[in-house]
Amino acid sequence: MLLLLRAVFGVTLLVQGGFYLRGPDPTTGAWFVGLMALAAGVLMLIGFLTPIVGAMVGVGALGIGFSLLPASAPTLFESRTPIVFAVTILLAIIVLGPGAVSIDARIFGRREIIIPSPSSSLRRSSG
């Protein structure tokens, strides 16, 4: 499931980065944002430095949403509603991690979440 989230969002970033680079008369800022979107899309697809890339993309999406960064002519994020959806997906990816099928899992190991049983926490607090 995390692979699917990363793949969909990575492809979205690649398409958005292409819009920035192919726009009519792109400025230096548009080139920078486009190249960063392409790099982030590739890193998201392969699952490398996923929490860091996700946080940076989230900040960039908010910057575009609040008109702090230049927007591309055709854009996937035409209003604030898609930006809210994108940031929500990014938060899920950041909190849950890249998943088992990622470079992060190969380099840093898979994260294991251990949920203690309710009976073991009752024994500790009553004693």
How do residues 19-72 score in pLDDT, each as one tens digit? 888 878 878 888 888 899 999 999 999 999 998 998 898 888 878 777 777 777
The domain in which residue 43 lies consists of 2-110
123 within some domain: no
Handedness of CA 115, 53, 72, 1 (dihedral sign): negative
68-126 pLDDT tens trace:
777 776 777 667 788 788 888 888 888 888 888 889 888 887 767 788 888 755 565 55
Q: Is residue 116 part of a domain?
A: no
Asked whether residue 117 is assigned to any structural domain, the reply reads: no
Residue 47 DSSP code: T
For residue 103, is it within any domain?
yes
The pTM for the full model equals 0.77
Q: Which helix or strand (DSSP H or E) is residue 107 part of? A: helix 103-108
Residue 26 domain flag: yes
Is 124 contained in some domain? no
Domain count of the fold of the chain: 1
**Nearest in space to 17 (alpha carbons), one of 45, 37, 40:** 37
* 40 found inside a domain: yes
